[in-house]
Amino acid sequence: MLIHLLLLPLLASTWAKPTSYAIWSADSAISRGQGNGLGSNGAPLVSYEHGEFWWALRLLYEKTGNKIYFDYIRQGVDRVVAANGTIGGGYGFTTDYQLDPIRTGPTFLYLYDVTGQQKYKIAADKYRQQLETHPRTAQGQFWHKLRYPNQGWLDGIYMGDVFYAQYTHDFQYSNKSAWDDVQAQFTLMFENTLQNATSPPHLLYHGYDYSHAAPWASPDRGHSPESWDRALGWYMMALVDTLDIFPPAHPGHAALLSFFRTLAPRVKAAADAQTGVWWLVLSQPGRAGNYFESSGSAMFVYALLKGVRRGHIEDDGIVKAMRKAYGYMVENWAIPNANGTIDWQNTVQVGSLDGNGTFEYYTSVPTDVNDLKGLAAFTLASIEYENL
Ligand SMILES: *[C@@H]1O[C@H](CO)[C@@H](O)[C@H](O)[C@H]1NC(C)=O
Ligand SMILES: *[C@@H]1O[C@H](CO)[C@@H](O)[C@H](O)[C@H]1NC(C)=O
Ligand SMILES: *[C@@H]1O[C@H](CO)[C@@H](O)[C@H](O)[C@H]1NC(C)=O
Ligand SMILES: *[C@@H]1O[C@H](CO)[C@@H](O)[C@H](O)[C@H]1NC(C)=O
Ligand SMILES: *[C@@H]1O[C@H](CO)[C@@H](O)[C@H](O)[C@H]1NC(C)=O
């Protein structure tokens, strides 16, 4: 009875439908143990999905002051960063040369900043060291992974280059060649994947192969055939987050801003007129088999709302459009459970340029419930929405 009385208010405060979907989605993921630095087998895992979620939890901590979020981040990171700063959790460094794990790096830098603990700096140094020798195309773009030679994927910008910028900001602010290099990563990706004037919706293809060796590489520029919503979502989030970090006086700041200003209205225009959200394959709206996908949609809402809030773009109907998209997301994809948690629907599991990169490929990949890539993006979108 006593336990019952004590638990009731606790449960009520934890699980009553809160006024904040940011809190509700984050608390639900935490109750399921998602993004805790462990893989499904219980072993430590360096995961970009966890990195994305930690980023959202950090913003939520800063907004609410609720230390639960901070403690969850730290506990998760401490599972993959040993007391001596060694990164465990399957991190491959030079054997793999992948950009994906580096997405956890901004959180290492954050923890170093607020705790001063050296192990987080040692771990961040390791990622920075990887970038120093990471293989590149002849133009200088980091390969997405060692096993994808000469390939730049939009995803990699969010995974590797937000960290690169933050590290440079924190420890090498006057290192011009590092800032030049961060600028080059965004620029090469933009130029090599931009859809030309005869290819609507004039967004970005998923990636390109500078050597044109991949089966999907176009004869003209080596780009992949379709524009995939989540890839562009990663790129848009990377732009808007890196603009916070980039020195305003360096020309890279204006370059990133121009990419964002070019893409934002086109992203808005590419939304489905009726629902306000976005197709999985942006380049083939309405085609049979295509569908409204939740992770890319949430990323666009986060990036565009933040872009307006930070003054990077004029509103110009963007807030209204994002409100409409957000309304659809909440109504259709954020589904309450009887126990007070929320389920996040309709996030596509993967979209890789490992295969043939066709419409048939993207639409053949199943969707998941509570996929952290989409759920964390919904938390981010909700934080921005609730800032309005
Ligand atoms: C750091 O700690 C890890 C885990 O405890 C251990 O495996 C590794 O050997 C240590 N590395 C060094 C350089 O001491
Ligand atoms: C500056 O950045 C470049 C490019 O990333 C790097 O090679 C160099 O070591 C950095 N210099 C310093 C002094 O950290
Ligand atoms: C535009 O891009 C499409 C698709 O890659 C290509 O087939 C076409 O030749 C390009 N047109 C021009 C003018 O470059
Ligand atoms: C709440 O309910 C959902 C759906 O039945 C379930 O997947 C989840 O594990 C439950 N969470 C808790 C904390 O019991
Ligand atoms: C591309 O791969 C998908 C499966 O991932 C398959 O269904 C489709 O037939 C393939 N298309 C071509 C042109 O090979």
User: What are the pLDDT digits (tens) for 26-55?
Assistant: 999 999 999 999 999 999 999 999 999 999
Q: Going by CA atoms, what residue is nearest to atom 5 of ligand 1?
A: 82
Residue 195 Cα: closest atom of ligand 3: 2
What per-residue string of b and e applies to 261-296 under the rule 16 or more CB within 10 Å gives b?
eebbbbbbebbeeebbbbbbbbbbbeeeebebbbbb
Whether the per-residue pLDDT at 333 is higher than 70: the answer is yes
* DSSP H helices in the chain: 2-15, 21-31, 48-64, 67-80, 105-115, 118-133, 154-156, 162-171, 176-193, 229-242, 251-270, 294-309, 318-333, 359-364, 372-387
Dihedral, CA of residue 174, residue 175, residue 176 and residue 181, to nearest 10: -140
User: What are the pLDDT digits (tens) for 244-290?
Assistant: 999 999 999 999 999 999 999 999 999 999 999 999 999 999 999 99
Cross-strand partners of 344? 334
Centre of ligand 2 to C-alpha 105, Å, is 18
C-alpha–C-alpha distance, residues 296 and 239, integer Å? 15
Tokens found for residue 198: 């005869």
What share of the chain has pLDDT > 70, as a percent? 95
Tokens found for residue 92: 């491959």
Q: Is 196 in the pocket of ligand 3 (CB under 6 A)?
A: yes
Cross-strand partners of 343? 335
Just give the CATH number of 184-388: 1.50.10.10
What DSSP line would sit under 123-159, residue for residue?
Answer: HHHHHHHHHHH--B-TT-PBPS-TTSTTEEEHHHIII
If you average pLDDT over residues 358-365, what whole number do you get? 98
What share of the chain has pLDDT > 90, as a percent? 93
106 phi/psi in degrees, rounded to 5? -55, -30
Residue 10: pLDDT band (50, 70, 90) is: very low
Residue 93: pLDDT band (50, 70, 90) is: confident
315 phi/psi in degrees, rounded to 5? -60, -60
Q: Going by CA atoms, what residue is nearest to atom 4 of ligand 1?
A: 82
Centre of ligand 4 to C-alpha 101, Å, is 29
Ligand 5 binding site (Cβ under 6 Å of any ligand atom): 355-356, 358, 360-361, 364
Centre of ligand 3 to C-alpha 193, Å, is 12
Question: By three-state DSSP, how is residue 81 classified?
Answer: strand
C-beta separation of 69 from 61 below 8 A: yes
Amino acid 18: pLDDT: 61
Place of tokens 């999985």: 280
Among 83-92, 110-119, 196-205, 211-220, the range scoring the smallest mean pLDDT is 196-205
Centre of ligand 5 to C-alpha 23, Å, is 40
Which ligand is closest in space to the CA of residue 215?
Answer: 5
Sign of CA dihedral 252, 258, 260, 262: negative
pTM for this model (two decimals): 0.95
Q: Is 198 in the pocket of ligand 3 (CB under 6 A)?
A: yes
Going from N- to C-terminal start, the domains of the chain cover 1-8+25-134, 184-388
Centre of ligand 1 to C-alpha 97, Å, is 21
Amino acid 197: pLDDT: 87
Q: Going by CA atoms, what residue is nearest to atom 2 of ligand 5?
A: 361
Please state whether beta strands 334-336 and 342-344 pair in parallel, antiparallel, or not at all (unpaired). Answer: antiparallel
Tell which phi-psi region holds residue 342, choosing left (phi > 0), alpha (psi between -120 and 50) or beta.
beta
Centre of ligand 5 to C-alpha 241, Å, is 35
User: What are the pLDDT digits (tens) for 145-203?
Assistant: 999 999 999 999 999 999 999 999 999 999 999 999 999 999 999 999 999 988 888 99
Amino acid 6: pLDDT: 33
Q: Which H/E stretch holds residue 342?
A: strand 342-344
**Best mutation site among 78, 81, 84 for ligand 1, i.e. most ligand atoms within 8 A of its Cβ?**
84
C-alpha–C-alpha distance, residues 69 and 30, integer Å? 9
Centre of ligand 4 to C-alpha 341, Å, is 7
**Best mutation site among 224, 349, 360 for ligand 5, i.e. most ligand atoms within 8 A of its Cβ?**
360
Which ligand is closest in space to the CA of residue 342?
Answer: 4
Residue 131 Cα: closest atom of ligand 2: 5
Centre of ligand 3 to C-alpha 198, Å, is 7
Q: Is 40 in the pocket of ligand 3 (CB under 6 A)?
A: no
C-alpha–C-alpha distance, residues 381 and 300, integer Å? 8
Centre of ligand 5 to C-alpha 365, Å, is 11
Place of tokens 């004039």: 202
- The overall average pLDDT reported for the chain is 95
Q: Is 75 in the pocket of ligand 3 (CB under 6 A)?
A: no
Amino acid 199: pLDDT: 85
Q: Going by CA atoms, what residue is nearest to atom 14 of ligand 4?
A: 339
If you average pLDDT over residues 77-84, what whole number do you get? 98
